[in-house]
Structure 1
Amino acid sequence: MKEAGDVWSAVADRPRSRDACVSLAFLALGVVLYAADLSVIGGNTGTPFDLPRWLGLVTLAAACGAQSLRSTAPGIALTACVVVVALDTAVAQSISVWLVASDVVYAVALYAGRRTVHTMYAALGAIAVLAFASVVAVGAGWQTVLLAGLWTLALVIAPIGYGRAIAEHRVAAAGERERSAILAQLADRDRADAVAEERRRLARDLHDIVAGHLSGIALQSAAAMAAGPASPITAEVLASVRANSVAALGEMRAMIDVLDGDDRAGDVLDTGSPAASVRTASLRRIDHLVTTARTAGSPVVVTPEVPPDLPPTIDVCAYRIVAEALTNAARHAPRQPISVALDADGAGLTLTVRNAVPEDTAAVTVGGHGIANMALRARAAGGHCTAARVGDEWVVTAHLPTADGQDVP
C-alpha cells in the first residue's frame, strides 16, 4: 500500500492533476465556510441586490474552474478569476472567492513568464487604485480604507512576493545545477588529461628503461649463442632467454602503444605486415610458457590440446592465468611436476594447473599480488579463479565463460 506522501509526490509531478487537487481543496474550504455561515465578507448582511446566498457557491465553483489552470495557463486563469471576483463582489461578496483569487495571483507570480507577471502588476495596480478611489468616494471612514489595505496586503501583495521569491529561488537553483554540471565536466576533462599524461609518461619510461634492458638481454643472449659451442643445457637456457626476451619486447611494444593512446593495440604484436599481426597473449603460444618452466627444471604436461576458436577475451585471460600459475609453481616448488588441464565446452573454458608441493615447503601465503591478479582477470572476463593447497598439491582452478564482450586488464 502506498504512503500518502508517495501519492502526493506522484500527483505533484503532473501539473494538471496538481492544479485539480488544489482547486478541489479550495472548493471544499468554501463549502465548509458556507455551511458554517462564514462565507460573506463583513457578515451575512445581504448583498447590494438582495440576492440569495447560494449564488456564492456558483461564483466559487467558477473561480475554482479558473484556478484549475493556475500553472498550465496562468494568464487565462488570472483573467477569468478577476472577472469572477468582480461578479462575486456585486452578487455575493464571498470570502472563499477572494482566497481562490489570492492563490491564482501567487500561481501567476510563480509560473508565468516575465511579460505576464508585469501585465498582472499593471492590472492589479489599476484595480487597487480604482477600488481605493471608490471607497473614498462613497465617504467611507479611514477604518474601512485601512481594512481594505490590509486585505490587499494579505490577499494580493503577500502572495505575489512569496511566488516571486520561490520563482527566483528556482532560477538560482537551476543556474547552480548548470554550473555544477559544467564544473563536473571540467573536472572529468582535467582527470582524463591527467590520466593521459600519466600514461604517456609510463610509456616513455617503459620504452626508455624496461624495453632497453630487454633489448640488451636479447642481444647478449644471441651473442652468447653465436660465440661458440656450449653444453646442451646452456644452449637450451640461452635459447629460452632469447625467445622470452623477444616475446617480452613484443608485449612491451603493445603495452607502450596502449599507454600512448592506441587502445586497440593491447596484446597484439605487429610483425611487419598488415596481415601478420598476432596476439602475443594467447593459449596458442602456451609452448613458450611451458619451455620457460621446463628450462627452470619443472616438468610440465599440458592436456589436452589447446581448444581452437576461443573468444579473444577468454584466450588472453586464460594465457595470463596460466603464465602466473606456472611462474608461481616454478618459484615456490622448483623442479616439481606441473600439469595443465584445459577443458572447453559450451559453457566456457575451465583450466586447472596443479603442481606437487614438497613436505618441507612452507605454506604459500594466500592473497599475494599474483593470486589477486589471477582472480581479478577472471572476474573481468565474467568468471572466477581460485588458488589453494589441496593435499600435497597446489591447485589453481579458473572457469571462464565463452561469452565475449568483457575487457581484460
Structure 2
Amino acid sequence: MWSRMAGRPRLRDLVVCLAFLALGLVLYAADLTVIGGNSGSPFDMPRWLALITLAAACAVQSMRSTEPGLSFALCLVVVGVDVALAQSISVWLVLSDVAYAVALYAGRRTVHVMYATVGAITVLAVASVLAVDGSWRSVLLILLWLLALVISPIGYGRAIAEHRLAAQSERERSLAVAQLAARDRADAVADERRRLARDLHDIVAGHLSGIALQSAAALRAGPGSPITAEVLASVRSNSVEALGEMRTMIEVLGGVDAETGTDGEQEQSRRTASLRRLDRLVTTARTAGSPVTITGSAPPALPPSVDVCAYRIVAEALTNAARHAPAQPISVSLDATGTDLAVTVRNPLTGGDHPADTGRPSHGLVNMALRAESVGGRCSGGPQGDWWVVDASLPLRSDGTPVDHTPGVDAPGVSR
C-alpha cells in the first residue's frame, strides 16, 4: 500500500500530516502538549490554542514533498507563533518532519538556505537564553532540543537523498554498460557477418568463376576435342571441392566443433584450403587456358590462419587473372624468408577491364586485403607497368603465430 502511495506525493503527504495530527491529538488528550509540563504559555493563553497551531502546522506539512521550501518557511512561522502562545510539543514534531522532507526532496540551493536558517535560529536562541537568565544549563537544553528535533532529521534526510543519488547513478551506469555490451554484441555480429560474406565469396564465387572459365574453354574446344574431357573432369573436381568447403562451413556454423573455437575453424578450413593443395588452383587455371608457373614454396610448419589466408589470396588472384587476362601467362611467387611470407601473383594487362578502370573497390581486392589484415599482414593489387600485380605480405612470429591485428571494415564493390 505504501509503495503505491510513494508514486503519488500529494496522497502520501496527506497521510503523513493526518498521522501527525492524530499524534498531536493523542498528546493533547494525555495532557502532554505543553513543553516542560503544564506551565502554560507566558501570556496565560487558553490551552486549546495548541490545537489551532497544530492544525496550521499539519496544513503546512501537507506540502512537504511537493513544495518543501515553502512548507519549511511557513512551518517556521507557525512554530514561532506557537512558541509565543502555546509552546506545544506536537508542532515541533511537525517541524522535525518538514525539515527531514526538505533535506530529502528539495534541491541543493533550498537545502543550503535551510542550513543557514537553522544556524541563525540556533544562534538567536542561544543568545536569547543567555540574555534572559545566563544559564549554560538552559543553553545546553536548547541545543539538545534543536539537535533532536531539527538537526538530526536534516542529517537523516540528506543521508537518504545521497543514497538515492548514488543508486540512480549506479542505475545509469548499469544502463550505459548494458548499452555498450549490446553495441559490442551488434559489432561482433556485424564482424561475423562480414567474415562469413568473405568466406562465401571465396568459396562460391571462386569455384563458380573457375567452373565458368573452364566451361567456356570446353565450349571453345568443341565436343570432340581431347581438352574437353580434361576440362569436364576439372569442372567436376571443382564442384566437389566447392561442396566440401560449403559442408565444412555449415558444420562450423552448426556447432559441430564448437569447443575448438577459432583454431578449430581454421583447421576445418585447412582441410580444403591450404597451400599444400595449391595444385588444384593451378589445374583449374590451366584447364581454363591460362598457363601458370609457381616459384618458391611455403614453409612446412605454416600456422593454419596464415595458410588459409595465403591460399584464399592466391585463389582469388588466379581467378581474377584468368577472367580478365584469358590465355595469358600467370606467375605465382612464394617467399618465406625471415618472418614474412610474401605472396605475389602477376599477369599481363591485356587492355581489358580491371578494378582500376571502374573507380571503385572490388569485393575480390577488398576481401584479399581484409584477409591479410586478419593475420596482421597486408595485401594490395593494381597495375605496375604492363602487369597486374597482387602483392601480399603475411608476417609471422618466431613461434609461428600470427601477429596481433585489428580487423578492417568491409567495403562494397564489384568482383574483379
TM-score, normalised via structure 2 length? 0.51
Separation in 2, partners of 1:71, 1:140 = 39
Runs of 4+ in 1 over 4 A off after TM superposition: 214-230
Tell me what 1:153 maps to.
147
Is 1:108 matched up with 2:102?
Answer: yes
Deviation at 1:61, TM superposition (A): 0.6
Separation in 2, partners of 1:70, 1:123 = 17
Separation in 1, partners of 2:134, 2:96 = 24
Separation in 1, partners of 2:26, 2:218 = 107
Tell me what 1:123 maps to.
117
Deviation at 1:209, TM superposition (A): 2.0
Is 1:12 matched up with 2:6?
Answer: yes
Separation in 1, partners of 2:101, 2:74 = 14
Q: What secondary structure does 2:178 align onto? A: helix
Is 1:38 matched up with 2:29?
Answer: no
- Residue by residue, what CA displacement relative to the aligned partner does 1:274-321 show, whole Å, maximum 9, x if unpaired? xxxxxxxxxxxxxxxxxxxxxxxxxxxxxxxxxxxxxxxxxxxxxxxx
1:84 aligned to 70, 75, 78, which one?
78
1:25 aligned to 14, 19, 22, which one?
19
- Tell which deviates more after alignment, 94-103 or 201-210: 201-210
Separation in 1, partners of 2:53, 2:196 = 79
Tell me what 2:282 maps to.
none
What count of residue pairs does the alignment treat as equivalent?
A: 236
Tell me what 2:188 maps to.
194
- 1:260-409 alignment to 2 at 5 Å? none
Deviation at 1:99, TM superposition (A): 0.5
Separation in 1, partners of 2:222, 2:107 = 93
Separation in 2, partners of 1:32, 1:221 = 104
C-alpha contact 2:82 2:91 (8 A) present in aligned 1: yes
Q: What secondary structure does 1:52 align onto? A: coil
Tell me what 2:131 maps to.
137
Tell me what 2:55 maps to.
61
- Residue by residue, what CA displacement relative to the aligned partner does 1:85-137 show, whole Å, maximum 9, x if unpaired? 00111111111100000111111111112221111111111111111111111
- 1:168-317 alignment to 2 at 5 Å? 168-216=162-210
Separation in 2, partners of 1:217, 1:18 = 79
Is 1:74 matched up with 2:68?
Answer: yes
Deviation at 1:225, TM superposition (A): 8.6
Tell me what 1:93 maps to.
87
TM-score, normalised via structure 1 length? 0.52
Tell me what 1:49 maps to.
43
Deviation at 1:217, TM superposition (A): 5.0
C-alpha RMSD over aligned residues? 3.2
User: Counterpart of 2:176 in structure 1: which amino acid?
Assistant: I
Deviation at 1:193, TM superposition (A): 1.3
Tell me what 1:358 maps to.
none
Separation in 2, partners of 1:120, 1:219 = 88
C-alpha contact 2:34 2:88 (8 A) present in aligned 1: yes
Tell me what 2:256 maps to.
none
Separation in 1, partners of 2:169, 2:98 = 27
Unpaired stretches in structure 1, ≥5 consecutive residues = 1-6, 231-237, 253-409
Q: What secondary structure does 1:80 align onto? A: helix
User: Counterpart of 2:108 in structure 1: which amino acid?
Assistant: R
User: Counterpart of 2:165 in structure 1: which amino acid?
Assistant: V
- Residue by residue, what CA displacement relative to the aligned partner does 1:249-272 show, whole Å, maximum 9, x if unpaired? 9xx9xxxxxxxxxxxxxxxxxxxx
Separation in 1, partners of 2:222, 2:110 = 99
Separation in 2, partners of 1:100, 1:116 = 19
Separation in 2, partners of 1:56, 1:212 = 97
C-alpha contact 2:79 2:91 (8 A) present in aligned 1: yes
Deviation at 1:187, TM superposition (A): 1.8
Separation in 2, partners of 1:50, 1:105 = 30
User: Counterpart of 1:28 in structure 2: which amino acid?
Assistant: A
Q: What secondary structure does 1:69 align onto? A: coil
User: Counterpart of 1:199 in structure 2: which amino acid?
Assistant: R
- Residue by residue, what CA displacement relative to the aligned partner does 1:218-247 show, whole Å, maximum 9, x if unpaired? 6667877998779xxxxxxx9xx99xx8xx
Q: What secondary structure does 2:31 align onto? A: coil
Deviation at 1:178, TM superposition (A): 2.0
Separation in 2, partners of 1:69, 1:9 = 19
Q: What secondary structure does 1:50 align onto? A: coil
User: Counterpart of 2:89 in structure 1: which amino acid?
Assistant: I
C-alpha contact 2:34 2:87 (8 A) present in aligned 1: yes
CA 215–195 in structure 1, closer or farther in 2 if over 3 Å, else same: same
Q: What secondary structure does 1:70 align onto? A: coil
Deviation at 1:216, TM superposition (A): 4.2
Deviation at 1:167, TM superposition (A): 1.5
- Residue by residue, what CA displacement relative to the aligned partner does 1:126-169 show, whole Å, maximum 9, x if unpaired? 11111111111111533322221111111111111111112222
